[in-house]
Amino acid sequence: MGKRILDVGVVDHFLDASSSERWLHGRLCGVAKKCLGVDVLTDELEQLRLLGYDVRNADLTRGPLDETFDIIVMGEIIEHIEQPGSLLRNAATMLDEGGVVVLTTPNPWYVNVIIKHLLNAVPFTESADHVSWYDASSLYELGQRCGLQLYRYTGVRDAAARTFPGRVLFQIAPLLITLRLNQCLFAKTIIYEFRRISRG
């Protein structure tokens, strides 16, 4: 790939994540020319530093880093923070010409969430430390206000339904999609991609 990548929220909640082959930062390091990770979890960052990773303690809602990147990755963090606008605005200033911000966040229109609400399984909590839900419309508007243009979003399908009704629903999902049901209904997470808005 040969890109300069910034991974925001590198710790991925717990240090144990770094021992998994699915750890996002480890995978990014494998393809990047340079991969810098930032987070606010000081102790975990120190452990990652001892393992040889290029990581820094930085809260990007308070200000940008004094460098630029080809790709800024924000995996499952925007739903945790109180100042999403500050985060995206600072990301826009750190983006190289032609660069991309890639963020993922849970899908509020995921069929599992809808069913739990329909069945009155409340209070439904995706995660105790989430403070917001985002969809394409709200992220498009938020991006515009922060100097970023949302140009693509893609659902990540969840194939691991735990209940029998859930497994049946996901088995017939392809048929339902051909009948014009929105395929994002079956996506637990959505990947959003932004470019910097040109001021020229």
Mean pLDDT across 29-53: 93
Question: What percentage of the chain exceeds 90 in pLDDT?
Answer: 59
Q: Do 112 and 158 contact (CB within 8 A), yes or no? A: yes
Average pLDDT, rounded, for the chain: 87
Q: Residue 23 — pLDDT band, cuts 50, 70, 90? A: confident
d(CA 24, CA 186): 22
Q: Quickly count: other Cβ atoms within 10 Å of residue 117's Cβ.
A: 11
Mean pLDDT across 48-60: 95
Pick one of 3.30.450.20, 3.40.50.970, 3.40.50.150, 3.90.320.10 as the CATH number of 59-106+131-158+187-196. Answer: 3.40.50.150
Q: What is the pLDDT of residues 69-105, one digit of tens each?
A: 999 999 999 999 999 999 999 999 999 999 999 999 9
In this predicted structure, the answer to whether residue 3 has a pLDDT above a threshold of 90 is: yes
Q: Do 127 and 133 contact (CB within 8 A), yes or no? A: no
Q: What is the pLDDT of residue 197?
A: 92
Q: What is the pLDDT of residue 178?
A: 77
Mean pLDDT across 8-12: 90
> E-assigned strands of the chain?
4-8, 34-39, 55-57, 69-75, 95-106, 148-157, 187-196
Considering the entire predicted model, what is its pTM? 0.87
In this predicted structure, the answer to whether residue 192 has a pLDDT above a threshold of 80 is: yes
- Kindly list the domain boundaries of the chain, sorted by start residue: 59-106+131-158+187-196
